[in-house]
Amino acid sequence: MPANTTFAPSVSPAMSNPAVEYALDFAQRSILYADVMRERGNQYLAHMAQATPNVLNFAVEPVMSGRDLPRPVNYGLVRIIPPEGVVIDPCKRPFVVVDPRAGHGPGIGGFKADSEVGVALCAGHACYFVGFLPDPVPGQTVEDVMRAEAAFLERVIALHPESEGRPVVIGNCQAGWQILMTAAMRPELFGPIIVAGAPLSYWAGWKGKNPMRYAGGLLGGSWLTQLTSDLGAGRFDGAWLVQNFESLNPANTIWSKQHDVFSKVDTEPERYLGFEKYWGGYVFLDAVEIQYLVDNLFVGNRLSAAQLVTSDGIRIDLRNVRSPILVFCSKGDNITPPPQALGWITDLYADDADVRAHDQTIIYCVHDSIGHLGIFVSGSVGRKEHREFTTNIDFLSAMPSGIYEAELHDKGPDTLNPDLAFGDYMLALKKRSLNDVREIVAPDEESDRRFATVSRVSQANLNLYRTFMQPWVRAVTTPESADFLAQLHPLRLSYRMMSDLNPWLAWLGPVAERVRENRKPAAEDNPVLQAQETVSNMIEYSLDQWRVMRDAMYERTFEAIYGSPWLQAVVGLDAGEAPRQHPGHTPKHRAFQAAEAERLQNEIPEGEALEAGIRALLYIGGDREQVDERNFHVIFNLRCERCADARSMPLPDFKRAVRRQTEIMRLDPAAAITALPQLLARSDSSAITEMRNVIERVMTASGPLDKVEMARLHEMQGVFDKSASASMRRNGGKTPNAFGTTQDSGAPRSEQETTVS
């Protein structure tokens, strides 16, 4: 063959250009993809070299370090510095966002502008953030962290003396159960609590789904956690937790995530690198901490049964939490599915009366599809759910005891009184029962028996390991060997090997830069490029089907082993024994309930126009299954308009009045309504008439009344008009005005009209 001859494959002209175009595009994308991986590795090294690595997207100033506490921990409290143009209202309660320490570093709650931190600042609330350092203080415990969080809240409360309530606390994922445990121990420090994607009932889950809950049993319990901590010289490497998360979705971990970068290498790197900065920020937990978590929560599931006790004898019972609890979860979350987020409610409470007896307000919101991290990170969730939760936090915290479901509805041209609903959505709360929660959780006693068996097997295996293996493992482990093993973790190696630490990649940066300068992407309609996407979809589908088969095998294996009556008998689980006893009521709580009922009975004739108005509202709308933010904002706006009036009350007092009158109406509604004239006799006619007007404005803010509600409204208007007339006669036809002087007043409105215009 002559030297100047160029080999060209024999292809038709119709196919030549697309194939060549794709080949060039493929080669360029391969180099650019490799360079993105190199940047990812360099970013990881720079991030982990920081003293306090985090991914917060806001400027902060330190407020308090957990290392300075009597029992030091690696947590710290910082104040978020509001961005330019954001004005903070000192009267609004502050927000405290607590990030999860579940393998990754802190900052996910403030990762974007449209995040939990961002929406709180935009709503005018001061915002604080609780984060942590990569390394724990040796020997720190979960209880130490709880006490540190309590100390942080004490500091926040002291910094905001003008606030109209205790801080709102948001706990993401692992931090959710952590702050609820703290709130059960120190309930007086907390305002409303929002737990987002937080597992609280670890045995719960849907059959055929949620395989992560089987991991403890399939590995023989918590002995492996202890071994890993011993090999880490007293530290547990959070990278193992992250690897567990990644194994849940192999199609995404092995293929989709990387293919998205490769196929969109011109546009995707910035988003990908931003997320990888968080995902690769591995942290460590102290051996005592992680062992406590695995034994008592993941395997033992003792939190939702009120079986945990602190070192000083305080039982951690979530029924002691006095703040409203908003549980935000998603059907698309494979790490914390709705049964694990809501199962604690069915574990702790026997019925709806039990919820009310503990004066507990529980609100839940179930998203249809968002993934676990999307609950904290997604901009769409931040702009919708978190913004509505934040702007309506006073509405949520004013709800009486009971269970409610939060729903968000789009505002449209047909929405009544749209100015009373902030933003583009309207928040509504629907009354729900414990049975509604059970339908979501789908509790299964046979499944609980299997997990109870796991707990007992785990304890036996842990004791065997500690007796026969632990002394040898600890004898051969040194800090140097522990660090060497940590650096050899596969996830860490994937970052370090594709970085500038690898001398074999020295050529990659300059070559990638030249490729960017001469980039020639293939056309979107290129048939070879379309074939690439088809192959990618097939690979993703195959990996997903493999996951389904793997998870089904996990479930069947778990059920076969731990559902065996022989094994259950060996570990001492009696055939007729319930796997878990309901926590029940203590004699102290029964005595409290009896005293509370007597106190409420004595308070029936007490109050003035405000208390009478609340009772009237509850009487008129008591059968409603739903209330939305418009009803609340009518009262709230009226209070704001009258904030300079001496008769106005602080918002916390108003909320307490609402809850108190609700309890009275539940106890004895007939006596409570009969006592209305007695309450109104203590108020002047202007206050009575004003409250009469407010009642109709509140009731009609979200739509017209039905026949029963209209009849009750007219009944209550008659009571208020009659009481106003009586007050006028007592005062000789003169009523105080807003300035404290008196003026002549005509006949009460009841003599002029029967309804308020």
The Cβ-side half-sphere exposure at 84, using a 13 Å CA radius, reads: 0
Indicate the burial class of 6 (C-beta count within 10 angstroms; 0-12, 13-18, 19 or more): exposed
Alpha carbon separation from 546 to 109, 255, 549, 653 (Å, rounded)? 33, 13, 5, 57
**Cα separation, 709 vs 212, whole angstroms:** 49
pLDDT at residue 730, as a whole number: 80
**Cα separation, 45 vs 57, whole angstroms:** 19
| 3-state SS assignment for residue 332 | coil
Q: What's the rounded mean pLDDT across residues 566-574?
A: 91
- Cα of first residue to Cα of last residue in the chain, in angstroms, is 100
Q: What is the pLDDT of residues 176-191, one digit of tens each?
A: 999 999 999 999 999 9
| 3-state SS assignment for residue 286 | strand
Indicate the burial class of 475 (C-beta count within 10 angstroms; 0-12, 13-18, 19 or more): exposed
pLDDT cut 90: percent of the chain above it: 70
Q: What's the rounded mean pLDDT across residues 405-420?
A: 88
Name the β-bridge partners of 410: 425
**Cα separation, 601 vs 608, whole angstroms:** 16
pTM exceeding the 0.85 threshold for the entire prediction: yes
Among 116-120, 579-583, 667-671, which stretch is predicted with the lowest mean pLDDT? 579-583
**Cα separation, 146 vs 213, whole angstroms:** 25
**Cα separation, 735 vs 712, whole angstroms:** 28
pLDDT at residue 132, as a whole number: 96
pLDDT cut 70: percent of the chain above it: 92
Pick the closest to residue 580 from 318, 309, 302 (CA basis).
302
Q: Residue holding tokens 């004895």?
A: 668
**Cα separation, 40 vs 499, whole angstroms:** 7
Q: What is the pLDDT of residues 641-695, one digit of tens each?
A: 444 443 456 777 888 888 889 999 999 999 999 999 999 999 888 889 988 988 9
Name the β-bridge partners of 735: 743
Q: What is the pLDDT of residues 440-485, one digit of tens each?
A: 999 999 999 999 999 999 999 999 999 999 999 999 999 999 999 9
Give Rg (Cα) of the chain.
31
Q: What is the pLDDT of residues 604-615, one digit of tens each?
A: 999 998 899 999
**Cα separation, 226 vs 286, whole angstroms:** 11
For 514, phi then psi, to 5°, come to: -65, -35
Examine the pLDDT at 1 and tell me if it is beyond 80: no
Q: What is the largest CA-CA distance in the chain?
A: 123
Q: Tell me, what DSSP letter sits at residue 89?
A: -
SS3 letters across 527-546 = HHHHHHHHHHHHHHHHHHHH
